[in-house]
Amino acid sequence: MLDIVYILNEIDNFLYFPILIVVMAIAGIYFTGLTKGVQIRLFPESLRILMEKSEDGSVSSLQAMLVSTASRVGTGNIIGVSTALCLGGPGAVFWMWIMCIVGASSAFIESTLAQIYKRKGEDGNFFGGPAYYIEKGLHSPKLAALFCLFLIVTYAIGFNLLCSFNLQSTFIEYPFYDMSTTPLIVGALIAVVVGYCLLGGGDRIIKMTSTIVPLMGVSYVIVSLIVILFNYQNIPAMFGLIITDAFDFHAIAGGIAGSCLVYGIKRGLFSNEAGVGSAPNASASADVTHPAKQGLVQTLSVYIDTLLLCTATALMCLSSGVVRDVSVSGAPYVQYAISTVFGWGGPIFITVAMVLFAFTTLIGNLYYVDNAIIYLNRKKKPSKMFMRIFYIFATVVVFVGALVPMDVAWAVADITMGGMTLINLPTCMMMGKVAIDCLRDYERQRKKGDEPVFKAKSIGLNEEELDAWK
């Protein structure tokens, strides 16, 4: 087992530095420049679009964003941030912020492309994602199939292993926790509940997340703010520590793989998934009048995840004064921090939040996997028998996740996610002109005072090749 952990960690470290850090930086800066900072410049417009209602019961921009947010917002907002702070240092928070703001432009591009190349099913609902814009835009069905394989491995195995592990780890600080039995019990309970809910399909996922995601997000931020305010005297020193550590390049160069820079980028990417290619699967389901609308809305999802929830965790922990080190990495650090104000009720609240975060993440992850499986099955829904077998496999993965070591869970998730990103981001850069032209078309119509309506020919595309925009 030690050899496997070592190999996984070595692959993980090399994949993120130098490969992924360079690719993500180039893509984010490239998209930010070409769009003139769309993620900041059109922030008010994103809020306006979010309030638009759908017609005839179709999926609205808000619902599609909530599905993608359900997958983005998860255990990474608590455990991932804690791990980054304990292992990388306070400066990781700063690099998460940078990753979020720059990466939001990548989120705009990928979601806009997903809307342009989305398909319309026999039931009248829309679907799509990176596999579809890779196939139609790059005319590379083999690369599209490879992306789907990476997505399935990432979300059905990597992320769900980690999510299950993170959830069971919140029970470590309770007196009843037993290393040999508690993970088994927690893993079994999660697996049973997830397996049952998988029978509900996509409609239930959207309805469920529409209710749970806002409630869990708002309550968590409020509690975090209370802890920060109770420790207000530590706030100036806290921000000083974040900035000082973030720009301590001597320390970063001394151990780049374990530095605040790499941890901030790795955990930021894991948390908000900007450029990974996951959110476009949900974005494609929205029924909007113009593709750029969903691209703009998805930038908000990235902000909600990182600037709101990840920041809430980081500032709560750092302001609490709790000593951070490897021994408290993960759930314990957050639980100790919140208990400085709420006492024994703090760890319980974190456990409840983790249950909600993990549950929506597990369900949202498998929603994405369904789309990938359909694509690989020649764009048709597999038989009920196949899906039942797959769902049984997925629930087994959830169960196993509660039992694996922490290093294995994080490394597998990082590696599989990195594979998706290395296919999706270069694809988006090659197809970037289509999304940029789409944005310019949207802005032209808005300047005229019109409600933008997309016509493929207005940006030089053949509408006969775009199933949803004929």
pLDDT tens sequence across 91-110: 999 999 998 999 999 999 99
pLDDT of residue 453: 95
Q: Per-residue pLDDT for 199 more than 80?
A: no
Contact 374, 152 (CB under 8 A): no
Buried b / exposed e along 245-265 (16+ C-beta atoms within 10 A): bbebeeebeeeebebbbbbbb
Summarize pLDDT for 16-60 with one digit per residue, the tens.
Answer: 778 888 898 899 999 999 999 999 999 999 999 888 776 666 667
What is the residue whose two structure tokens read 């973030």? Answer: 246
Q: How far apart are CA 157 and CA 135, in angstroms?
A: 25
Residue 18 preceded by cis peptide, ω within 30: yes
The better pLDDT of the pair 377, 358 is held by 377
For the chain, what percent of residues have pLDDT higher than 90? 55
pLDDT of residue 1: 56
Q: Give the best-scoring range by mean pLDDT among 159-173, 202-216, 350-364.
A: 159-173
Of 48-62, 231-245, 250-264, give the lowest mean pLDDT range: 48-62
Q: How far apart are CA 447 and CA 444, in angstroms?
A: 5
pLDDT of residue 247: 93
Q: Per-residue pLDDT for 207 more than 70?
A: no
Average pLDDT of the residues in 72-98: 88
Summarize pLDDT for 333-357 with one digit per residue, the tens.
Answer: 999 999 999 999 999 999 888 887 8
pLDDT of residue 210: 58
Helix (H) or strand (E) holding 120: strand 119-120
pLDDT of residue 89: 93
Buried b / exposed e along 87-104 (16+ C-beta atoms within 10 A): bbbbbbbbbbbbbbbbbb
213 pLDDT tier (thresholds 50, 70, 90): low
Q: Give the best-scoring range by mean pLDDT among 1-5, 31-35, 327-331.
A: 31-35
What single-letter DSSP state applies at residue 259?
S
Of 65-74, 298-307, 424-433, give the lowest mean pLDDT range: 65-74
The better pLDDT of the pair 443, 272 is held by 443
Helix (H, G, I), strand (E, B) or coil at 445: helix
Average pLDDT in the chain: 88
465 pLDDT tier (thresholds 50, 70, 90): confident
End-to-end CA distance of the chain: 54
pLDDT of residue 379: 86
Reading phi first (left if > 0) and then psi (alpha if -120 to 50, else beta), residue 277 is in left
Q: What angle do CA 165, 167, 170 make, to 5 degrees?
A: 110
Residues forming a β-bridge with 126: 120
The better pLDDT of the pair 204, 252 is held by 252
Summarize pLDDT for 114-153 with one digit per residue, the tens.
Answer: 999 999 888 888 889 999 999 999 999 999 999 999 999 9
pLDDT of residue 260: 86
Q: Per-residue pLDDT for 279 more than 70?
A: yes
Q: How far apart are CA 298 and CA 106, in angstroms?
A: 10
77 pLDDT tier (thresholds 50, 70, 90): confident
Q: How far apart are CA 148 and CA 261, in angstroms?
A: 29
Sign of CA dihedral 343, 348, 352, 353: positive
pLDDT of residue 164: 93
pLDDT of residue 75: 76
pLDDT of residue 200: 64
For the chain, what percent of residues have pLDDT higher than 70? 93
Q: How far apart are CA 29 and CA 335, in angstroms?
A: 36
